[in-house]
Structure 1
Amino acid sequence: MSVRQSLLAILEQGPCYGYQLRTEFERRTGGTWPLNVGQIYNTLERLERDGLVVRGAANDQGHVYWEISDAGRAEAREWLGSAVDRGQAARDELSIKLALAATLPGVDVTALIAAQREATERRLAELRRTREDDGEPATPQTIAAALLIDAQIFAAEAELGWLAHSERRLAAHPDHALALDLATERPRRGRPARALA
């Protein structure tokens, strides 16, 4: 998620102060990913440094309003008009954990998959209840929140499919057939051994 571009997109509607930006972000995303006010102010300062926002004077209540610049407006529009590159996503802890577990001797990969499946099924049931319990009239806020819940539901369903696929793939190999011993050849990079005097 890009906090930087999200703040710029909100500022396109008009000047805001930091806490107001936080409230607007949460209002538009259903509070799915709450932002820390400190994170917002740090981001605003970087945006100012980069010429994408301009800091205004403080009002009577001490709120400093930030206004988007033409360059910031162009960046926000470019972000909103472009596809998200999912190929550069952060490392996925679950897939790395499963790959490592499959190659380590003595790890019960079947139990790991079962535990993850159970946790994902609980999360999926919770998300579906949240979606069903909604019952609120359709407003821009409720529709935005529903879109984010739906995305999490689809991701949980995909994770369950991937876990089932992984379980079938691993079942084709006898226990510990994938276990890797530590390599005997040492990597060339690293600290050189000290010469004995």
Structure 2
Amino acid sequence: MKKNRWSTLDLTMGSLFVALTAIGANITSIAPFLVIGGVPITLQTFFAILAGIVLGSRLGAFSMFVYMLLGLAGAPIFAQFKGGAGIIMAPTFGFIVSFIILAFVAGKIVETKRTFPRYIIASITGLIINYVIGTNWMYAAYQLWFEAPGDLSYQVVWGWMMVPLPKDIVLAVAAAVVGYNLEKGALSRSQFRRQNNAA
């Protein structure tokens, strides 16, 4: 029987991942050495994947939904401390939307069988969802409502995404390792996991 209501502990854990994702979006303000070649390394996708594999599909997706809503309401929790409803029109907003979906899918993959290969599959699948939704949103934005470079094409937009891809793959695998180790360590003995397993 599925649990229909979240406990205070569930909501606390969800809030923790909202905060971690906000920190991850602006980690370079805390650790400026994470700007490599002028490209900031953000950890939003890392924490979105981790939210799914740690919190589960429903709570993980909900935490990312709350993160998105808070940012749209004006809280400066998106990358470069941005916030507000105007972000919806930004070419990169699709990546934020993808956090909700990838957290849900990643959580679903590991919920039935918490083995290390499942964590790797969940994390890489989450990254693929992030890239597919985010990149297609970006292309649509440039085609429909945002000023696009003159030589822009679908291939060019995907070419841009090849630059951060190696570090994102590394971070996705790191999320799998962290999530699996948490599960086999403190998380498996925690009240959070016991109450969810009993539900």
TM-score by length of 1: 0.28
Greater fraction of residues in helix: 2
TM-score by length of 2: 0.28
